[in-house]
């Protein structure tokens, strides 16, 4: 018991000692800690205060972005250049507004697009909107191809299933001082390789082996803001292994012009298109239609033309439009040509008078700085006839239209410098026999001016909305082209929109002939149909009855017929032809061309003392010959396309009569397949080339043969025979061709080199018809392997083999005998490839 008490006392002492030790330690540590805190506080009071740096947001104060050094331009948007950066100041009021983004090539290297792409060429048109999303501004491409009234439930589905792509997303850099506009940096958008803005298509990139855009050599050249548009000029240089020119640089440099155009706040009332009157069009798929399917609506493309005085207009008086169409001449236009360009534009005043408007279209010379300090060809307010320094022989009439309604907003006619050269050449070749003033390389300025005036008028027609009308020249009888009074009054086609350039029918001795085209009755009719204001109709649907009545009034009159350029099978709708009878017209044309060919050296090399012009014109003379032959060839397997509605008499498609097709085949044998010796004058050819004489004729004849023996043409003939036994048959055509091409074999005649080449071309074409794999053809009109074509070809080859074998045994001329033996071997390879 005592022992336990001692042990307990000893334990308590140890506990107390431990507690005292711990207390001493804590006391010391606390004292030290307090001392440290005191020293830290004193040090903090002595040191300068450091304020924590706040993280800076993306949106900065306006003056931090648009500094006092900014170069600004007020217009649709205020644009700013700050150092090397460019900014748009976009008013909030313009967010979600419809605008057009139009991309054009301003400058380009030689041979881009094989010479068919030129300065001013449009490479893209997009309807876009600027939209805000959180702290970003998006530029989105919008489409009116699929539409529905916003009040209809289906509009929700249309929007969901036609979601528009975002072309670019911009961070908001700042707000304007009054917070009514958003500032975005557009530098990267316009200096990067944005495919939507590029002047190089995917095909061009592949052809020229473009690797990438070289950022170090690409930059924004300028940005200008106008009241209704913003124009951006970019310099873009691409690294390319196979550029179209300057090959050693391995580079392609383009200058692009990007137009941002504000579309009208109030869209123009559109007008429905009708196939019976030719217009460029836009399509919309309307899902709000009451039909049992989406309804495709097609509107014509036209300028907004509204009467300034509606009451006077309603009374039938000529009135001026609220806004006339005005074209300015390019300052680069040569002085001696300006008069003719202006006259060419204003030829359309008369057709607009038919629609009730006076002074509807005007041409102006380029204004001086004093007259209009703001004038710029890039300003969307100005439509310009641009004069382009290019060797291309062409002119075009493009336009920019509102995809919502078809309203034409602006257009730039493009005239290429060398284009008059081609017109001078055609003038000499096509009219020289009957027109002494055309027999020269120095055509008079007045005649050149008249040609230019009509070409400009043609291109303005396109810019007004009119496509080519290839049926207009069929309105006039062939013999009328030899009548001076008729040609002076009516020209050579019912419209200037046909490709009927010259009167090649008139013969030597015909008097007072007009050889150059002009505005015609169809032009007046089409402009009235498309532009006449109909005040009682406040919707497109309410115009339809009136529009249809205007067409029916002219039905049956060939002067008011429209023929599609795409109708390659319709002999009444061909390019470069005139007259209502191709055989008769081409007979006159070839008679004239033979005269020209005989005198060509006299009018060229004898005058210039060199052969350059002779060679050029001979090449183009072959082109004339090719066209005249082609006009007749289209009769074979041809189909007349009649653009009619069910309430009109007749049928839409009608095969060319059999007798005319057979007559055309015989004409081709006489004028195309029989060797045209007049085209191979030895004195002429020996002065322009060292060889290639037979190949020139061979290429032409092979083209005609391939055109006749095509799957499409044979397929049409099979169809037509199936529905009418009186129609020309494919087998009959093949027999007629064989008999003519191989006529020497039946008569034991020697075969000259041109005919030998033609006969071998015939066998090659038959081989093509027998063996060509059509499975890869994008467009297959019918199943060739299941049709009669190969059976007919096989049968014709067997008949030909018997004829040629017999002819070979009778032949006495060695070249002819060898030729026949070779033909037999070729036929055997086709019939039995093994």
Do you know the residue count of the chain? 834
pLDDT at 39: 47
* CB within 8 Å of 741: residues ≥ 6 apart: 669, 673, 705, 758, 759, 762
pLDDT at 186: 96
- Do 677 and 729 lie in a common domain? no
Out of 202, 234, 263, a domain closes at 263
- Do 680 and 730 lie in a common domain? no
Residue 528 sits in a domain whose CATH number is 3.40.390
pLDDT at 61: 94
- On whether residue 96 sits in a domain, the answer given is yes
Separation CA 263–CA 402 (nearest Å): 7
- Do 722 and 767 lie in a common domain? yes
- Do 459 and 340 lie in a common domain? yes
Across the strands, what pairs with 185? 87
β-pair type (136-142, 122-133): antiparallel
- On whether residue 272 sits in a domain, the answer given is no
pLDDT at 291: 65
- On whether residue 571 sits in a domain, the answer given is no
Separation CA 636–CA 531 (nearest Å): 39
- Do 603 and 670 lie in a common domain? yes
Residues 447-473 pLDDT 10s: 999 999 999 999 999 999 999 999 999
Give the domain range for residue 13. 1-47
pLDDT at 315: 94
**Cα 352–455–302 angle (5° rounding)?**
35
pLDDT at 28: 46
Residue 689: how many other CB atoms lie within 10 Å: 13
Alpha helices, H only, 676-782: 682-685, 693-708, 711-723, 730-741, 743-747, 753-771
On whether the CB atoms of residues 167 and 135 are closer than 8 A, the answer is: no
Alpha helices, H only, 215-361: 310-314, 335-346, 349-354
Tokens standing for residue 334: 């040569």
- Do 609 and 495 lie in a common domain? no
- Do 332 and 258 lie in a common domain? no
- On whether residue 158 sits in a domain, the answer given is yes
Number of domains in the chain: 5
Residue 532: how many other CB atoms lie within 10 Å: 19
- Do 186 and 96 lie in a common domain? yes
pLDDT at 370: 87
Residues 230-267 pLDDT 10s: 999 999 999 999 988 888 899 999 999 899 999 999 99
pLDDT at 145: 60
- Do 41 and 83 lie in a common domain? no
- On whether residue 330 sits in a domain, the answer given is yes
Sign, CA dihedral 340-342-343-347, equals positive
Out of 234, 263, 292, a domain closes at 263
Across the strands, what pairs with 82? 85
Q: Which residues of the chain have pLDDT under 50?
A: 1-5, 11, 15, 20, 22-29, 31, 33, 36, 39-41, 43-44, 47-48, 50-55, 147-148, 155, 158
- On whether residue 749 sits in a domain, the answer given is yes
- Do 663 and 599 lie in a common domain? yes
Name the one residue in this structure whose structure tokens are 């001696």.
Answer: 336
- Do 345 and 251 lie in a common domain? no
- Do 221 and 178 lie in a common domain? yes
């Amino acid at each position: 018991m005592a022992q336990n008490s001692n042990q307990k006392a000893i334990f308590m002492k140890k506990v107390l000692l431990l507690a005292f030790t711990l207390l001493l330690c804590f006391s010391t540590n606390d004292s030290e800690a307090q001392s440290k805190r005191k020293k830290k506080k004193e040090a903090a009071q002595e040191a300068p205060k450091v304020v924590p740096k706040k993280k800076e947001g993306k949106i900065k104060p306006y003056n931090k972005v648009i500094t006092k050094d900014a170069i600004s331009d007020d217009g649709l948007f205020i644009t700013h250049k700050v150092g090397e950066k460019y900014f748009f100041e976009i008013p909030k009021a313009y967010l979600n507004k419809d605008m057009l983004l139009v991309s054009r090539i301003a400058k380009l290297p030689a041979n881009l697009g094989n010479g068919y792409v030129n300065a001013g060429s449009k490479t893209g048109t997009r309807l876009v909107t600027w939209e805000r999303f959180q702290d970003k501004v998006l530029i989105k491409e919008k489409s009116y191809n699929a539409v529905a009234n916003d009040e209809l439930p289906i509009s929700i589905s249309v929007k969901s299933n036609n979601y528009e792509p975002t072309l670019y997303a911009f961070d908001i850099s700042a707000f304007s001082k009054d917070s009514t506009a958003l500032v975005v940096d557009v530098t990267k958008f316009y200096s990067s390789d944005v495919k939507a803005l590029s002047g190089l298509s995917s095909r061009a990139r592949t052809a020229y082996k473009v690797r990438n855009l070289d950022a170090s050599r690409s930059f924004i050249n300028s940005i200008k803001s106008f009241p209704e548009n913003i124009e951006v000029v970019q310099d873009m240089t691409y690294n390319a292994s196979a550029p179209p020119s300057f090959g050693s640089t391995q580079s392609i440099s383009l200058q692009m012009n990007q137009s941002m155009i504000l579309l009208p706040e109030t869209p123009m009332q559109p007008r429905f298109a009708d196939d019976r009157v030719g217009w460029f069009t836009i399509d919309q798929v309307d899902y709000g239609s009451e039909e049992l399917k989406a309804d495709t609506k097609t509107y014509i493309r036209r300028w907004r033309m509204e009467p300034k005085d509606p009451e006077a207009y309603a009374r039938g008086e000529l009135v001026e439009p609220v806004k006339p169409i005005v074209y300015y001449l390019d300052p680069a236009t040569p002085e001696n040509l300006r008069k003719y360009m202006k006259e060419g534009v204003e030829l359309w005043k008369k057709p607009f008078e038919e629609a009730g408007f006076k002074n509807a279209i005007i041409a102006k010379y380029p204004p001086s700085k004093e007259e209009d300090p703001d004038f710029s060809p890039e300003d969307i307010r100005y439509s310009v006839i641009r004069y382009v320094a290019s060797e291309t022989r062409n002119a075009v009439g493009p336009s920019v239209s509102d995809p919502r309604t078809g309203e034409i907003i602006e257009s730039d006619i493009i005239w290429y410098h060398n284009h008059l050269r081609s017109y001078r050449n055609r003038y000499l070749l096509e009219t020289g026999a009957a027109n002494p003033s055309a027999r020269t390389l120095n055509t008079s300025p007045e005649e050149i001016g008249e040609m230019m005036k009509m070409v400009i008028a043609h291109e303005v027609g396109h810019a007004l909305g009119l496509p080519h009308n290839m049926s207009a020249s069929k309105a006039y009888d062939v013999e009328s082209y030899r009548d001076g009074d008729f040609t002076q009054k009516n020209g050579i086609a019912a419209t200037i929109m046909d490709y009927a350039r010259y009167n090649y029918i008139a013969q030597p001795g015909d008097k007072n002939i007009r050889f150059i085209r002009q505005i015609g009755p169809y032009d007046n009719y089409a402009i009235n149909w498309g532009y006449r204001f109909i005040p009682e109709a406040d919707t497109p649907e309410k115009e339809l009855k009136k529009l249809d009545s205007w067409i029916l009034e002219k039905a049956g009159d060939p002067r008011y017929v429209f023929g599609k350029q795409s109708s390659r099978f319709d002999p009444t709708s061909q390019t470069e032809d005139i007259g209502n009878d191709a055989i008769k017209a081409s007979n006159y044309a070839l008679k004239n061309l033979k005269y020209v060919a005989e005198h060509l050296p006299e009018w060229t090399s004898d005058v210039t003392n060199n052969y350059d012009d002779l060679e050029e014109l001979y090449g183009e003379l072959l082109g004339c010959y090719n066209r005249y032959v082609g006009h007749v060839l289209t009769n074979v397997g041809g189909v007349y396309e009649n653009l009619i509605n069910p309430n009109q008499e007749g049928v839409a498609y009608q095969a060319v009569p059999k007798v005319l097709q057979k007559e055309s085949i015989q004409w081709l044998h006489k004028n195309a397949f029989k060797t045209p010796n007049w085209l191979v004058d030895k004195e002429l050819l020996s002065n322009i080339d060292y060889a290639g004489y037979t190949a020139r004729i061979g290429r032409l004849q092979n083209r005609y043969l391939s055109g006749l023996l095509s799957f499409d043409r044979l397929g049409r003939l099979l169809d037509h025979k199936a529905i009418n036994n009186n129609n020309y048959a494919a087998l009959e055509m093949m027999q007629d061709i064989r008999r003519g091409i191989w006529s020497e074999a039946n008569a034991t005649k020697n075969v000259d080199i041109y005919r030998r080449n033609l006969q071998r071309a015939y066998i090659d074409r038959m081989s093509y018809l027998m063996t060509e794999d059509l499975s890869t053809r994008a467009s297959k009109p019918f199943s060739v392997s299941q049709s009669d074509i190969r059976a007919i070809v096989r049968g014709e080859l067997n008949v030909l083999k018997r004829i040629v074998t017999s002819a070979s045994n009778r032949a006495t001329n060695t070249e002819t005998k060898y030729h026949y033996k070779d033909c037999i071997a070729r036929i055997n390879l086709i019939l039995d490839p093994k």
